[in-house]
Amino acid sequence: MKRGLVIGKFLPIHKGHIALIEFAAERCDELIVSMSYTDHDAIDASLRFSWIAQLFKDRPSVKPAMVRDDFDNEQLAWPERTKVWADFIRKTYPPVDILFSSEVYGEPFAANLGAISIVFDADREKFPVAASLIRQHPFKYWEYIPDIVRPYFVKKICFYGPESTGKSTMAERMAAHYKTVFVPEVARELLTSNVFTLKDIETIGHAHADRIKEKSKVANKILFCDTDAITTQIYSQYYLHAVPDAIYTLEKDVHYDLYFLFDIDVPWVADELRDLGNQREKMLEIFRSELIRRNIPYIFVRGSFEEREVIIKTAIDQLLI
């Protein structure tokens, strides 16, 4: 039986890595994909490993493995450095016959392992990308990021502020403009009036968080979100004078990359859920103060609909660079 080896940090795994692994898997009976990690990696190790496992779950000959990188010495030249690697590999895995790589360490590493070296796309002609480039400029290299990894890099945008300020309309409009998807105000799907309970608040909070996870999987670089967990807290406190602990937990679980605070300088439009038209200024200050208290930066959105669009598009276009 021929056993192959591919090593890497996979920070993150990209289509070049996938092509290398598939190339290797076709040339051996069993392929160990060894992912090294440290406690200081830019992307959580368990998440990276889950991506690898999911990508190759239908390839039984591909054996993903995760090892702590506490043995490497970057000060050494490649012959000495890869000798340390080889000693570790021999202690950790069954004997390896072929080393597959796209890196300069391939030849000395294979020699120290006593294995054959097979190089794949060393000049990056087929896949002109590196994990470090993806981390720095994910949208520039979006085509090289696997679908399962893309949600990690999706930028979540929160349209935030009092009721009847145009958030819902803008979320839908911006999603269409940037050819992506949006998360609506889920409370409007679950409530028919402003008579609700703390249990209802928890249901709304979890439903909104679940929708964000769902939409992140299909978003094109940007995900627009109409409101957030802070908004749910504000209305829970206002109407019920209490906030379920779960909503504070949900706030910590979902990170937004940019907040837009919508001003009240637009006409009030009443409906079955809006009853605070006479307290717009007070509510705006509550919304603003909650961001300030958390040290969350925001962009203030005001003016005509066209002026608001310009403010938002300018910021989003900068984010996409």
The domain ranges of the chain are 3-144, 154-319
The pLDDT assigned to 192 comes to 75
Instruction: Specify the CATH architecture of the domain 154-319.
Output: 3-Layer(aba) Sandwich (3.40)
Q: What is the length of the chain?
A: 321
CB contact burial 259-285 (16+ within 10 A = b; e otherwise): bbbbbbebeeeeeebeebeeebeebbe
Distance separating alpha carbons of residues 91 and 111, to the nearest angstrom: 17
Percentage of the chain surpassing pLDDT 70?
98
124 pLDDT above the threshold of 90: no
Is residue 108 within 8 Å of 86, Cβ to Cβ?
no
Rounded to the nearest integer, the mean pLDDT of the chain is: 94
The pLDDT assigned to 188 comes to 83
pLDDT digits (tens, 9 = 90+) for 296-313: 999 999 999 999 999 999
Q: In which band, very low, low, confident or very high, does the pLDDT at 271 lie, cut at 50, 70 and 90?
A: low
- Kindly report the pTM of this predicted structure: 0.90
Does the bond joining 12 to the residue before it have cis omega, within 30 degrees of 0?
yes
CB contact burial 43-52 (16+ within 10 A = b; e otherwise): bebeebbebb
Q: In which band, very low, low, confident or very high, does the pLDDT at 194 lie, cut at 50, 70 and 90?
A: confident
Asked whether this chain's domains 3-144 and 154-319 adopt the same fold, the reply is yes
The pLDDT assigned to 273 comes to 57
Contacts of 44 (CB under 8 A, 6+ apart): none
Q: In which band, very low, low, confident or very high, does the pLDDT at 277 lie, cut at 50, 70 and 90?
A: low
Any idea which fold 3-144 has?
Rossmann fold (3.40.50)
The lowest-confidence range among 28-32, 106-110, 190-194 is 190-194
Residue 246 main-chain phi, psi, to 5 deg = -60, -30
Beta-strand (E) ranges in the chain?
A: 3-8, 30-37, 62-68, 98-101, 116-119, 155-160, 181-183, 222-226, 258-262, 299-301
Is residue 191 within 8 Å of 275, Cβ to Cβ?
no
The pLDDT assigned to 276 comes to 64
Is residue 163 within 8 Å of 155, Cβ to Cβ?
no
